[in-house]
Amino acid sequence: MRRYTLRQIDTFLEVVRQQSVSRAAEILGVTQPAVSMQLRQLEDALGLPLLEQVGRKITLTDAGLDIQQYAAAAVAQMKQLDDAVAERRGVRKGRVELGIVSTAKYFVPMLLVRFRKKFPDIEVARHIHNRESVMGLLARNEADLVIMGRTPEGMDCVATPFADNPLGVISSPEHPLSRRRRASLSVLNDQDFVV
């Protein structure tokens, strides 16, 4: 019979995600000692050390790596259970784990304002990272929805485009191409760019 709790598993996974007890405590809305206590109790229940401190960085032990995979899968299953129950109740309450690539963080808040008006009792947890980290969240089933520019390749997911991302070229007024109104992209072949 297991002697650990879902709270301990959630705490462990958040510390792993943040690689910091203090950042995990901040996200979970508890104190650092509370996070440390949950981790200690989980390690005691399992009889294995899961984390080790190397300087200021927290790393997973070999046992911690194994436990992380099982814990993430268990939490994903619990999330699916929550979603199934919410669906039967009419999706009026719940939590959505939203992964956002850092380049999208500027327009997502306006979308969240609209969502909040329509679904005030659904909590949205935002995870803003670079593309690689957001892809990791998606691969580990730690994100319900991801907003990114390009569809992930080789991943079993559904992608739906919802906005155009027009690109433009900006130059100084003195540049030879600045007065051109219509031109093919080939005129840019030998130009230098700052991106």
Instruction: State residue 91's pLDDT score.
Output: 66
More confident residue, 11 or 80: 11
- What is the CATH topology of the domain spanning 92-166? D-Maltodextrin-Binding Protein; domain 2 (3.40.190)
pLDDT at position 48 is 93
Q: Are 50 and 67 in contact (CB under 8 A)?
A: yes
Residues 133-157: tens digit of each pLDDT: 899 888 888 898 999 988 888 888 8
- Rounded Cα distance between 152 and 16, Å, is 24
**What digits encode the pLDDT tens for the residues 95-129?**
889 999 988 888 888 899 999 888 888 889 888 89
Residue 9 has pLDDT above 90, yes or no: yes
What would the pLDDT profile of 50-92 be if each residue is shown by its tens digit? 999 888 788 999 999 999 999 999 988 988 888 778 776 766 7
**pLDDT value of position 1:** 61
pLDDT of residue 44: 94
Alpha carbon distance 70, 21 (integer Å): 21
147-177: burial string, b at 16+ Cβ within 10 Å, e else:
bbeeeeeeeeeeeeeeeeeeeeeeeeeeeee
Q: What is the pLDDT of residue 183?
A: 80
- CATH of the domain spanning 1-91, picked from 3.30.1490.190, 3.90.550.10, 2.60.40.420, 1.10.10.10: 1.10.10.10
| Domain 1-91 matches domain 92-166 at the CATH topology level | no
The predicted pLDDT at position 87 comes to 72
State pLDDT tens for residues 20-60: 999 899 888 899 999 999 999 999 999 999 999 888 788 99
Answer yes or no: are the C-beta atoms of 8 and 42 closer than 8 Å.
yes
Please give the model's pTM, rounded to 2 decimal places.
0.52
Element (DSSP H or E) covering residue 154: none
Is residue 72 a contact partner of residue 29, using CB atoms and an 8 Å limit?
no
Domains of the chain by residue range:
1-91, 92-166
